[in-house]
Chains A and B, each alone.
Chain A
Amino acid sequence: MENYLIAMCVSAGIYALMALGVNVVWGFAGMVNLGLVGFFAVGAYASALLTIKAHWAIAGGMAAATIVAALVGAVVALITVRLRGDYLAIVTLGFAETIRIVASNAIWLTNGTDGLSGIPGPGRGTLSPEMFNLVYLAIVGVIVAIAYVMNERLRASPFGRVLRAIRDDEQVAAVAGKHVTLFKVKAFAISSAALGLAGALYAHYTSYIAPDIFVPLLTLYIKLALLAGGLGNDRGAIVGAFAVVFLLESTRFVIPYVPGITPVQGAAIREFLIAAFLLVMLRYKPTGLVPEQPTRLPVPPAPRYQPTA
């Protein structure tokens, strides 16, 4: 049972890293990225292939996954730079599906739908499974903590201020002297870097990846995590990720006690419960568990009163 809980915490940590990444584009800059699982997949495959086929060290594979995903993110941002809202959502959704289909068919590289197995993990084989899980949890925890600090710094900085301005009105941001395209590309690259690293962490943890892991449902789980936690708020992103994993896993225990349903129906009920949770959340707490806080700066003590002439 402890091992199971630790494994769930690792999952939640990986979800939290993804939610933090998505927060940069969606929460700060207001761009909808429905293709986030695509960047997650790019990172997972990059690190898996480099460590299995090129025998890179795991850390090297993870670093490369981060960089490759960031570059892919920058390219996707450049391609979609004129798209907003629903249009951006549908194109990014298409991007993620494209990645999945390429992974299914480029058999020479990705082993197709059979997937890649035997991805090395730090200390797997030498450590006991419990120790491996604990070590991995520590690695994920440190990475999430670093990502959190980086996100918070970005959010509070003039850079984050420009992103939040773009979220409110892109055209006025341009007139304010900001190179909107450049900021969007940077935001997308940063976000994709976090998603790619999350993918690499996933691959080295489970030791096996296949195209059918990278389905749009995972994108929706991360969106749900951000909405539940509080869009635009980094603490909210982490809280939301843990809430979603808790919800997903707790339904797993509840369903078997519902009489008269088959396991397949049970799985469907699970999705249904999650959808219901999202609807309730959006209806009653649209700003999330930890809403975005306005920034406060010191105000000069007493405004000098100037009588108008």
Chain B
Amino acid sequence: MGERDVQVMPAPLLEIRHLTRSFYGVHALDGVHLAVNAHRITGLIGPNGAGKTTLFNCISGVVPPSSGSVVFDGRDITGWRADRIANAGLVRTFQIARGFPRLTVYENLLLYGGAQPGERVHDALFRTSAARRREAELVQKAQAIADRLNLVRLLNAPASSLSGGQKKLLEIGRVLMADPRIVLLDEPVAGVNPSLAREIAQHLRRLADEGLTILLIEHHMDTIAALCDHVVVLADGKNLAEGTFAELASDPVVQEAYMGRRGSAR
């Protein structure tokens, strides 16, 4: 790999340095580097098996990397427990809308609210005023987020009763409850109908405009083109290329590895 250009930019909010991860001898990640600048939407694309989700798992503490480092806001968070990373302000979603099917939409949202003293046994048993006050705040916040995402009618419904698209919206809502500094979204519009996909993209655009930093895995190229300021292409666990979507779409290396004719036809 060649030298990276020195960017005339403030330090990135999230920086991945030479990250590797092997599973039983297979190099899922083979020296990936990545810089995500604050208040931007950065896209992460690549063919199936490129290592995108593994990269998310390594960043978010779900799977420890074999080597390399993850630096978030100037702190080396490599090898931290997943909950500690989340509480530091880095929150991710999962590709297949995962979550808590037997909890209600309300509870799914409230759960992501941090700093709830009621999660301690003592405060839970004695219903301390601190726990009740925080719960009231979180309920307010959950209502506001549900309102924003059109989920108000479903607040008391179990999450398992939601449609695929609504589950995707709920994932975004849960992440917002955590007041994150950066969110890692794993295919937020996969399998969603086109009009809802546009709606989700609008939500993400507005969130970025409000100051949120987003790292986004997506196969839906229109969404990537519409949202991302900067796009990174992974293939076979390595960096293949990066740049604006327009630059990548005309890059023959990327076309060959990933987009095929679809990219050149644009």
- Interface residues of chain A, those whose CB is within 8 Å of chain B, are 150, 153-154, 157-162, 164-165, 167-169, 171-180, 183, 186, 190, 294-300, 303-304, 308-309
Contacts and interface: CB of A to CB of B under 8 A. Distances in A.
A197 B131 CA distance: 28
B158 interface: yes
A186 B60 contact: no
A199 to B, nearest CB: 22
B193 to A, nearest CB: 15
27 contacts: A150-B125, A153-B125, A154-B124, A157-B119, A157-B123, A157-B131, A158-B110, A158-B124, A158-B131, A161-B103, A164-B102, A165-B100, A165-B103, A174-B61, A175-B92, A175-B94, A176-B111, A177-B114, A178-B111, A295-B107, A299-B152, A299-B156, A300-B147, A303-B153, A304-B147, A308-B199, A308-B202
Given A157-B123, A161-B107, A174-B83, 17 more contacts: A157-B119, A159-B118, A164-B103, A165-B111, A168-B99, A171-B62, A172-B100, A174-B61, A174-B62, A174-B86, A175-B91, A176-B178, A177-B91, A178-B111, A294-B104, A300-B143, A308-B199
B86 A176 contact: yes
Nearest to A178: B83
B101 interface: yes
Contacts of A154: 121, 124-125
Which 7 A-B pairs have CB atoms at the shortest separation, nearest pair first?
Answer: A157-B124, A158-B118, A177-B86, A159-B124, A303-B152, A174-B82, A168-B100
B262 interface: no
A174 to B, nearest CB: 4
Candidate in A164, A186, A294 with the most chain B CB atoms within 10 angstroms:
A294
Interface size class of B (residues with CB under 8 A): 35 or more
A186 B122 CA distance: 11
A167 B99 CA distance: 11
Contacts of A171: 62, 82, 98
Contacts of A308: 199, 202
Contact of A296 (B83, B112, B156, B178): B156
A157 B127 contact: yes
Contact of B156 (A176, A297, A309): A297
Interface in B149-177: 150, 152-153, 155-156, 158, 174
B100 A158 contact: no
Interface of B: 60-62, 81-83, 86-87, 91-92, 94, 98-104, 106-107, 110-112, 114, 116, 118-121, 123-125, 127, 131, 135, 139, 143, 147, 150, 152-153, 155-156, 158, 174, 178, 199, 202
B155 A162 contact: no
A153 B127 contact: yes
Given A153-B124, A297-B106, A169 B100 contact: yes
Contacts of A190: 121
Contacts of A161: 103, 107, 110-111, 119
A160 to B, nearest CB: 7
B74 to A, nearest CB: 20
Contact of B158 (A173, A180, A294): A294
Nearest to B142: A297
Contacts of B156: 294, 296-297, 299
Nearest to B180: A177
A294 B102 CA distance: 8
A154 B120 CA distance: 10
A169 B131 CA distance: 24
A19 to B, nearest CB: 19
B119 A159 contact: yes
Nearest to A303: B152
B119 A158 contact: yes
A259 to B, nearest CB: 49
Contacts of B152: 299-300, 303
Contacts of B99: 168-169, 172
A304 B116 CA distance: 28
A117 to B, nearest CB: 37
